[in-house]
Amino acid sequence: MTNAKKLSGAEIFFESLKKEKVEYIFGYPGGANIKIYDKLNEITFLEHILTRHEQGATHAAEGYARVTGKVGVVLVTSGPGATNTVTGIADAYMDSIPIVVFTGQVPSNMIGNDAFQEADIVGITRPITKHNFLVRDVKDLASTIKKAFYIAATGRPGPVLVDLPKDVIAAECEFNYPEKVEIRGYKPTFKGHKNQIKKAAKIIRKAKRPLLYVGGGVIMAEASKELTKFALKNHIPVTNTLLGLGSFPGTDPQFLGMLGMHGTYYANQAVNNCDVLIAVGARFDDRVTGKTDTFASKAYKIHIDIDPTAIDKNVLVDLPIVGDAKQIMADLSEELFDKPREEKWWDQIKEWQEACPLEYKRPDDLLRTQFVLEKISEKTNGEAIIVSDVGQHQMWIAQYYKFNNPRSHVSSGGLGTMGFSVPAAVGAAFGVKDRPVVSINGDGGFQMNMQELITAAYHKLPIKFFIMNNSFLGMVRQWQELFHEEKYSFTDLSESNPDFVKVGAALGVESFSTNKPEEVDAVLDKVFAINDRPVLVEFKVAKEDLVFPMVPSGASISDMIHKRINPKGKKS
C-alpha cells in the first residue's frame, strides 16, 4: 500500500486538464459544479472565460477549436446549464469539432429522483456526441478525462461529454494520469491502404476531366499543404464545401469556388461533367449533392476519409480510401506528379466561368452585403478569420471572401445554427491573437446570442462584429419568395428589430451604422485600425436581395436558378 497524497475530484479535474495542456475553459457556474469553481479560483495554468450563456460557452469552445485545432473545453452546471449546451454540442457533432463538455450532475444517490436541476444529459446528448460518460467513481475520473480528450481529438473529431456528479467531485483518491489510452472497438485507421492508393493514382493519371471536391476534413487533418501541392502538381481543379473553404487558396486560378446549393455555376458544372471525382474529407452532404442519383453521375468516384462510416453513406463511391487525409495526400503525391492535363478540360471550365460568373448589381445606390464582403476580403487580403452566422450572408461570405488559409473560415455548416457567430468569434479571438477576427451576422441571428458581446467587451477582444441588417430573416424570406408564393410569414423584422447601435453600446461595444456604399471604405479602415477592443458596425443593406445561383432543395445541380423567378414589385 502506498501513502501517496489523495486529491479531491475537483483537484483531479484540474490536474488532468493540466496534463492535457488546456489553456482556456469557457463556462458558467452553478450548484452542481460549485466545488470545481471553488478550486478554479486558485488555478493559474489556465484561464476561465465566463460567458453569459452556456450555449455561448459551447460555441466559444467550438470557435477556439476550429481556429486552433486544439480541443475546446466547456464547464457548466447540471440541469439547465447542461441542457443549454445541447445546440453547441449538436453543432460540433455535425461539423466534427473536437470539444469536451464537462457538466455538473446531482449527487449519484439522487440521480433518477427528479432532483433539483437534474437532467439526464448523458441520455439527452447520446445521439449528438461522439461519446459521453457519467463518472460514477472518483477513481475513474482521471482515466475518463484522458479518454474524453483522446476520443474528441482523434479519428474523425467530435464532441465528448463528461457528466460529473457532485459527490464524485467531492470524493478523494490518488491521482494517476494514464500515459496512453486503449479503448476496445475504437482504433481509428491512420494510414490509407497502399493498393487502394496505387489504384487511385492509376485512375487519376488516366483521367481527362478530374476534379477535387474538398471538405472540412482536410482542414481538420491539417492536410491543406499536401492537398494544395497535389492539386497544383497534377493541375486538377478544386472545389470546396462550405467547411472546406481555405483548404486551397481562394485566389488561385485552379480554384472554382464552393459547390452545391449556393455554389458557383462552374463548380457545379465541373461536378456534373468530370470523369474522376476525388472527394477528400467531405461527406456528400445534401446541400452539396442535391439529388444524389444525378450527382457527378459521369464520374468514377474516389472517396478519401478518416471515417469508414462516411463511405457510401449518401453516395455510392467506386474507390474508398480510409485514413488520414494528410498522409494519404502525401502518399498520392509520391505516386503521381507533374501530370500535364489536356487543355480541353480547362478550356471548358473557362467557358463556364465566363458564361456565368458570380455577380450582383454594381454600382448601386443600395448597400449590398456582397459589396461589403468584397471590400472586407480586399482589405484583409484573405488573411482574416471570418466567423459567419447562418443565412444569406453566410452564403455570400462563401462566395465573395477569398480565403487563403485553412482554419480561417469559421461557420456552422451541418447544423446551420443561427446565433453561432458572436460566441464562436469570442472563442476564436482567444485562440488566434495575431490576425483580425471578424464576426459577420444577419440581423436575425445576431439577436440569438448577442449577450456574448459582453464577454468580448470585458476581455477587450478586438473582434469586429458586423451586422448585415436587411430587416428580414433573409434566407427564409428567400425561400418564401421563390418557393412559397411570396407569403412572408413572420420573416419581416423591420418593425421589431432593436436599435443595434444602442444595443452594442449598452453591452460595452463601440458601435456604428451606415447605409451608404461610399462610406464603406472609411468605416472599414476605421474599425480595422482598432486593435484593443471590440467594435460593432451595422450595415443597413438591401432588403430583398437573393442569393444566386441556387439549386432548389432536392433538385439536380443542373436545375440551378440564376435570377428571380418572379420579380414582381421587387426593388432590389
Ligand X SMILES: Cc1ncc(C[n+]2csc(CCOP(=O)(O)OP(=O)(O)O)c2C)c(N)n1
Q: Does 391 bind ligand X (CB under 6 A)?
A: yes
Count of residues of this chain found to bind ligand X when the rule CB under 6 A is applied: 20
Cell of 544: 430583398
Nearer to ligand X, 389 or 481 (CB): 389
Q: Does 473 bind ligand X (CB under 6 A)?
A: yes
Q: Does 472 bind ligand X (CB under 6 A)?
A: yes
Query: Locate cell 486503449: which residue?
Result: 182
Q: Does 476 bind ligand X (CB under 6 A)?
A: yes
- At closest approach, how far in Å is the CB of 366 from ligand X? 15
Strand pairing report for 159-165 and 131-134: parallel
Rounded to whole angstroms, the Cα distance separating 209 from 344 reads: 9
Q: 166 catalytic, yes or no?
A: yes
- At closest approach, how far in Å is the CB of 33 from ligand X? 26
Nearer to ligand X, 249 or 442 (CB): 442
Looking at 54, 285, 443, 538, which residue binds ligand X (CB under 6 A)? 443
Looking at 470, 480, 497, 556, which residue binds ligand X (CB under 6 A)? 470
Contact between 441 and 464 under an 8 Å Cβ cutoff? The reply is: no
Rounded to whole angstroms, the Cα distance separating 136 from 127 reads: 21
- At closest approach, how far in Å is the CB of 471 from ligand X? 8
DSSP string, 104-118: EE--GGGTTTT-TT-
Nearer to ligand X, 73 or 372 (CB): 372
Contact between 105 and 165 under an 8 Å Cβ cutoff? The reply is: yes
- At closest approach, how far in Å is the CB of 393 from ligand X? 4
- At closest approach, how far in Å is the CB of 12 from ligand X? 36
Q: Does 188 bind ligand X (CB under 6 A)?
A: no
For 508, left (φ over 0), alpha (ψ -120 to 50), or beta?
left
Overall size of the chain counted in residues: 572
Nearer to ligand X, 20 or 452 (CB): 452
Q: N- to C-terminal Cα distance for the chain?
A: 79
Looking at 444, 517, 534, 549, which residue binds ligand X (CB under 6 A)? 444
According to CB under 6 A, which residues from 397 to 436 bind ligand X?
416-419
Q: Does 390 bind ligand X (CB under 6 A)?
A: yes
Contact between 68 and 407 under an 8 Å Cβ cutoff? The reply is: yes
Measured in whole angstroms, the distance separating CA 500 from the mean position of its chain's CA atoms is 26
Q: 139 catalytic, yes or no?
A: no
Nearer to ligand X, 255 or 396 (CB): 396
Q: Does 445 bind ligand X (CB under 6 A)?
A: yes
Looking at 58, 241, 370, 392, which residue binds ligand X (CB under 6 A)? 392
Q: Does 539 bind ligand X (CB under 6 A)?
A: no
Residues 6+ apart with CB under 8 A from 432: 67, 68, 385
Catalytic-role residue among 116, 337, 483, 490: 116
Rounded to whole angstroms, the Cα distance separating 327 from 188 reads: 14
Stated as kind and residue range, the H or E segment containing 80 is: helix 80-83
Looking at 56, 474, 504, 517, which residue binds ligand X (CB under 6 A)? 474
Closest CA to 16 of 56, 50, 43: 43
DSSP classification of residue 342: P
Please report, as a single letter, which amino acid is at residue 432.
V
Catalytic-role residue among 261, 448, 450, 475: 475
Nearer to ligand X, 215 or 391 (CB): 391
Q: Does 40 bind ligand X (CB under 6 A)?
A: no
Q: Does 393 bind ligand X (CB under 6 A)?
A: yes
Residues 6+ apart with CB under 8 A from 527: 464, 512, 535, 537
Strand pairing report for 409-410 and 319-322: unpaired
Sign of the alpha-carbon dihedral angle for 409, 410, 414, 420: negative
Catalytic-role residue among 14, 20, 35, 54: 54
According to CB under 6 A, which residues from 203 to 222 bind ligand X?
none
Beta pairing partners, 132? 161
- At closest approach, how far in Å is the CB of 445 from ligand X? 3
Nearer to ligand X, 33 or 388 (CB): 388
Q: 475 catalytic, yes or no?
A: yes
Q: 54 catalytic, yes or no?
A: yes
Cα angle 149, 91, 545 (rounded to 5 degrees) comes to 150
Q: Does 388 bind ligand X (CB under 6 A)?
A: no
Nearer to ligand X, 433 or 571 (CB): 571
Q: 370 catalytic, yes or no?
A: no
Nearer to ligand X, 422 or 475 (CB): 475
Rounded to whole angstroms, the Cα distance separating 526 from 528 reads: 6
Catalytic-role residue among 130, 146, 147, 166: 166
Q: Which residues are near ligand X by CB under 6 A?
A: 389-393, 416-419, 442-445, 468, 470, 472-476
**Catalytic residue numbers?**
54, 116-117, 166, 475
